[in-house]
Structure 1
Amino acid sequence: MTDRLIILGATGDLNARYLLPALAALRAAGHLADRFELTCADRQDWTGEEFRRWASAQLDQHAPTEPGEIRKAIADSARYRQADATDAADIASLVAGDGPVAVYLALPPAIFPGTVAALDSANLPPGSRIVLEKPFGEDLDSAVELNRLLTGVVPEQAVFRVDHFLAMTTVQNVLGSRLANRVLEPIWNSAHISEVEIVWDETLALEGRAGYYDGVGALKDMVQNHLLQVLCLVAMEPPLSLGERDLRDRKIDVLRSVRPLTDDDVVHRTRRARYLAGRVGERDVPAYAEEDGVDPRRRTETFAEVELELESWRWSGTTFRLRSGKALGHDRKEVAVRFRPVPHLPFGFNEEATPNVLRFGLEPESMTLALTGIGAGAHDLTPLTLAAQPPPPELPAYGRLLLDVLHGNAALSIRGDEAEEAWRVLAPVMSAWSRDLVPLAEYPAGSDGPASVGGS
C-alpha cells in the first residue's frame, strides 16, 4: 500500500467537496495507517496554517457526519506547499522522499499534459502512481497524446483514470444484479429488453463552475465518460472475474461494438440545448449565456442526449439512450431498463399489461421493478412496484477510489485504450454539432428540457 498522497490543485472544488471528505471516511474506517502522509499543493500563496483552516472548514461543510476528531485529524495532518503543477522543479521537490507516491491531478484537464511532463522530469520513485480526473483529453487526438505522455512516466498499470460513477453502490449493483441473479441474466438481451435509458438530469445549474464547464459542456462532462461507463456495465458480457484485466476487457468490447454514427444518425438520434432564465424550485436561475464567466459565443450545451445501438449478438435491436441536463425541473438520476411487452394476453383482461421497467436509482440509491398484477376485479390489471434499498456503503465513491489507488487496484480505473475508444464513439457527434447539423435548442430553467428530438 502506498502511504504517500500528493494532491495537486488542492485548493479547488474537487479536493474540498470530495477528496478531503473521502480521506476522512478512510481514516474513520481504519484504512489509513499512522504513517500516511498527505501533501496538498496549489498556486495559492498560503501558509500551512491557512490551508489547514480552509481544509477544516471544508470538512465541516462536506463531511459533517464524520466524527469531529476525524475531521480535525485529516486537516491537521495535511502539509501545504505552494507549487506550480507544470514546473518540474516544484514537482520534483514535492515527490522527493522515501517510497512510492500517488500523485492526484485535481486540476483542469487543459494542464494535464504540462503536469505529466513535469512529473516525467521529477524522477518519480519506483512504484508511484498518477491519478487523473475526467475528461481524459479533449478529443481522440489529445487523448492519444495524453496516454503517450503518461505511459512514458509510469507503466499503464500505475495510471488511474478515475471515474467516481464506477464506485457508486448502485452502479456496482447494476453489474451484481444481472450477473448474480438467475432470474435476470437469461433475459438480459435484446429479445426481452427494448430500451435502456441512462440518465443524469439535475436541478443544479452552473453554480460557479463556468471556468471548467463552459469549455466542456454536457456531452464531454457527462456523456463521454460517466454515462458511457455505466453503459459498459449494463451491456458487457459476463467477465471471467472482477479483476482489472477481465473487467476492463469486457468494457472495451462494449465500446467497440457501438455502431458508428453517420451525420444523418446524429441529426435524428441526438439533441443538444442550453437553459434560458427560469425558476428551479424556490430559486431564480439566470440564462446560461448570462452566467458569470460564460462566453455565449462558445454555444456550450447544458443538455445532451444521444441514442446508440450496439452491433452484437446480445444487443442488436435494443436502443441505448444516454442523457444529461442541467437546471431541469426535477432530478432524475437512474438507469431504466425497459422490457418488451408480453407477446400475448388471454382474452378477458380489461386493460393492456404495462411493460416491466427495472430502475437503478443512482442518486439517491435505490432499485425498483415495475410489474403488472391483478387489480380489484378478477380481470383488472394494475401496476405494481417492488422496491429495494441497497445497504449504505462503507465508503463514499471517492473513498473507494482512493483506497483502490493506494492499494494499486486498477479494476475501477479506465484503461488507456478504453479512454480512446470512448472518444471514438462520440467523435461523429462532436463533429456534426460543431458544424451545426443539430441546432442548439433552448429550454427554460426548471422545465423538463427541450421539446424537439434531434434535428426533426
Structure 2
Amino acid sequence: MINRLVVFGATGDLNARYLLPGLAALRAAGHLADGFQLTCADRTGWSDEEFRSWTAGQLDRHGHSCPADARTWIADTVRYRQADATDTADLASLIAGDGPVALYLALPPVVFPGTVTALRGADLPPGSRIVLEKPFGEDLDSAQELNRLLSEVVPEQAVFRVDHFLAMTTVQNLLGSRLANRVLEPLWNSAHIAEIEIVWDESLALEGRAGYYDGVGALKDMVQNHLLQVLCLVAMEPPLSLGERDLRDRKIDVLRSVRPLTEEDVLRHTRRARYLAGRLGEREIPAYADEDGVDPRRRTETFAEVELHLENWRWSGTTFRLRSGKALKDDRKEVAVHFRPVPHLPFGHTGEALPNVLRFGLDPENMTLGLTGIGSGARTLTPLTLTAQMEAPDLPAYGRLLLDVLHGNAALSIRGDEAEEAWRVLAPVMSAWSGDRVPLQEYPAGSHGPAPESGKDPR
C-alpha cells in the first residue's frame, strides 16, 4: 500500500466535498495508519495552519457522517504547499521523499497535459501512481494525446482514470444481481428486454460550478463517462473474474459493439436542452444563460439524451437510452430495465398486464421490480411492486476509490483504450451538436425536462 498522497487542486470543490471526507472515512475504518502522509497543493498562498483550518471546516460541512476523531486526524495531519501543477521544479519538490507516491490530479482537465508533461522531469519515484478525474480529454484526439503523454511517465497499470460511479455500491450491485442470481441472467438479453434506461436526473441547478460546467455540458460531464460506464456493466458479457484484465476487457467489448451513429441517427435519436428560469421548491432559479459565469454564446446544454444500440448477439434489438439533466422537478437516478410484455394473457381478467420493470436505484440505493398480479376479491389485473433496500456501504464511493488507488487495484479504473473508445461512441453527437444541427431545446427549471417526441413518456 502507498502511504503518501499528494492532491493537486487542494482548494477545489472535489477535494472539499469528496476527497477529504473519503480520507476521513478511510481513517475511521482503520485503513490509514499514523504514518500516512497527506499533502495538498494549490496556487493559493496559504500557510499550513490556514489550510488546516479550512480543511476542518470542510470536513464538518461535507464529512459530518465520519467520527469527529477521524475528521480531526485528517485536519491535523494534512500539509499544504503552494505550487504550480505545471511546473517541474514545484512537482519535484512535492513528490520528494521515501517510497512511491499517489498523485491525485483534482484539476480542470485542460491542465492535465501540462501537469503530465511537467512530471517527465520531476523524478517520480518507482511504483508511483497518477490519478485523473473525468472527463479524460475533451475528444478522441486529446484523449489519445494524453494517453501518449502518460505512457512516457508511468506504465499503464499505474494510471487511474477514475470514475466514482463505479465505486458506488448500487452500481456494483448491477453485476452482483446479474451474475450471482440464476433467475436473472437467462433473461438478460434482447429476447426478453425491450429497453434499458440509464438516468441521472437531478434537481440541482448549476450551484456555482459555471467555471467547470459551462465548458463541458451534460453530454461530457455525465453521459460520456459516468453513464457509458454504467452501460458497460449493464450490457457486458460475464467476465471470467472481477480482476483488472477480465473486467476491463469485457467493458471495452461493449463500447466497441455500439452501432456507429450516423448523422440521421443523431438528428432522430438525441436531444439537448438547457433550463430557463423557474422554481425548485422554495427557490427561484435563474435561466442557465443568466447564471453567474455562464457564456450564453457557448450554448452549453444542461440536459442530454442519447439512444444507442449494440450490434452483438445478446443485445441486437434492445434500445439503450442514456439521459441526464439538471434543474429538473425530481431526482431520478436509476437503471430501469424494461422487459417485453407477455405474448398472451390466457385468462379472462380485465385490466392491463404492464411490462415488468426492474429498477436499480443509484441514489438512494434500492431495487424494485414491477409485476402484475390479480386484485384481491376481483377479476382485475393489478400492478404489484417488490422492493429491496440495499445495505449501507461500508465506505463512501470516494473512500472506496481512494483505497483502490493506494492498494493498486485498478479493476474499477478506466483503461486507456476504453477511455478512447468512449469518445469514439459520442464523436458524431458532439460534432452535430457543436454545429447546431440538433436544436437546443429549452425547459423551465423545476419541470420534467424538454418536451418529448410525440408519443414518448418524458419519464
Deviations 1:161-208 (A, max 9, x none): 000000101100111001100000000000000000000000000000
Structure-2 separation of matches of 1:25 and 1:67:
8
Deviations 1:227-252 (A, max 9, x none): 00000000000000000000000000
Does residue 217 (structure 1) correspond to residue 217 (structure 2)? The answer is: yes
Q: Partner residue of 1:385? A: 385
Deviations 1:259-296 (A, max 9, x none): 00000000000000000000011101000000000000
Change (3 A) 1:452 1:344: closer
With structure 1 as the length reference, what TM-score do the two structures score? 0.99
Q: Is the 8 A contact 1:270 1:453 kept in 2?
A: no
Q: Partner residue of 1:158? A: 158
1:352 shift after superposition: 2.2
Q: Partner residue of 1:183? A: 183
Q: Partner residue of 1:265? A: 265
1:378 shift after superposition: 4.7
1:123 shift after superposition: 1.1
* Partner amino acid, structure 2, of 1:128: S
Q: Partner residue of 2:284? A: 284
Deviates more, 1:356-365 or 1:342-351: 342-351
Q: Partner residue of 2:421? A: 421
Q: Partner residue of 1:360? A: 360
Aligned with 1:233: secondary structure?
Answer: helix
Q: Partner residue of 1:90? A: 90
Structure-2 separation of matches of 1:347 and 1:66:
56
Q: Partner residue of 2:435? A: 435
Aligned with 1:410: secondary structure?
Answer: coil
* Partner amino acid, structure 2, of 1:2: I
Structure-2 separation of matches of 1:349 and 1:69:
62
1:69 shift after superposition: 1.3
Does residue 201 (structure 1) correspond to residue 201 (structure 2)? The answer is: yes
1:153 shift after superposition: 0.4
Q: Partner residue of 1:408? A: 408
CA RMSD of aligned residues (A): 1.0
Q: Is the 8 A contact 1:269 1:453 kept in 2?
A: no
Residues 318-397 of structure 1: matches in 2 within 5 Å?
A: 318-397=318-397
Give identity over the alignment, percent.
82
Structure-1 separation of matches of 2:68 and 2:378:
59
Residues 4-23 of structure 1: matches in 2 within 5 Å?
A: 4-23=4-23
Structure-2 separation of matches of 1:356 and 1:136:
37
Deviations 1:376-402 (A, max 9, x none): 245311111110111111100000000
Structure-1 separation of matches of 2:61 and 2:15:
13
Structure-1 separation of matches of 2:267 and 2:242:
38
Residues 54-203 of structure 1: matches in 2 within 5 Å?
A: 54-203=54-203
* Partner amino acid, structure 2, of 1:396: P
Deviations 1:55-100 (A, max 9, x none): 0000000011211111110011000000000011000000000000
Q: Partner residue of 1:53? A: 53
Aligned with 1:223: secondary structure?
Answer: helix
* Partner amino acid, structure 1, of 2:326: K
Aligned with 2:248: secondary structure?
Answer: helix
Alignment gaps of 5+ in structure 1: none
Q: Is the 8 A contact 1:91 1:119 kept in 2?
A: yes
* Partner amino acid, structure 1, of 2:116: V
Structure-2 separation of matches of 1:374 and 1:195:
26
Structure-2 separation of matches of 1:179 and 1:3:
35
Q: Is the 8 A contact 1:222 1:324 kept in 2?
A: yes
Q: Partner residue of 2:44? A: 44
Structure-2 separation of matches of 1:226 and 1:306:
13
1:452 shift after superposition: 4.0
Deviates more, 1:378-387 or 1:360-369: 378-387
Change (3 A) 1:98 1:451: same
* Partner amino acid, structure 2, of 1:263: E
* Partner amino acid, structure 2, of 1:341: P
Q: Partner residue of 2:308? A: 308
Aligned with 2:89: secondary structure?
Answer: helix
Q: Is the 8 A contact 1:170 1:366 kept in 2?
A: yes
Structure-2 separation of matches of 1:136 and 1:159:
12
Structure-2 separation of matches of 1:211 and 1:112:
16
Structure-2 separation of matches of 1:190 and 1:291:
43
Structure-2 separation of matches of 1:170 and 1:3:
29
Alignment gaps of 5+ in structure 2: none
Spell out structure 1 runs of 4+ moving beyond 2 A.
376-379
1:212 shift after superposition: 0.3
With structure 2 as the length reference, what TM-score do the two structures score? 0.98
* Partner amino acid, structure 1, of 2:221: D
Aligned residues: 455
1:434 shift after superposition: 1.4
* Partner amino acid, structure 1, of 2:308: L
Q: Is the 8 A contact 1:271 1:453 kept in 2?
A: no
Structure-2 separation of matches of 1:120 and 1:377:
75
Aligned with 1:220: secondary structure?
Answer: helix
Q: Partner residue of 2:246? A: 246
Aligned with 1:121: secondary structure?
Answer: coil
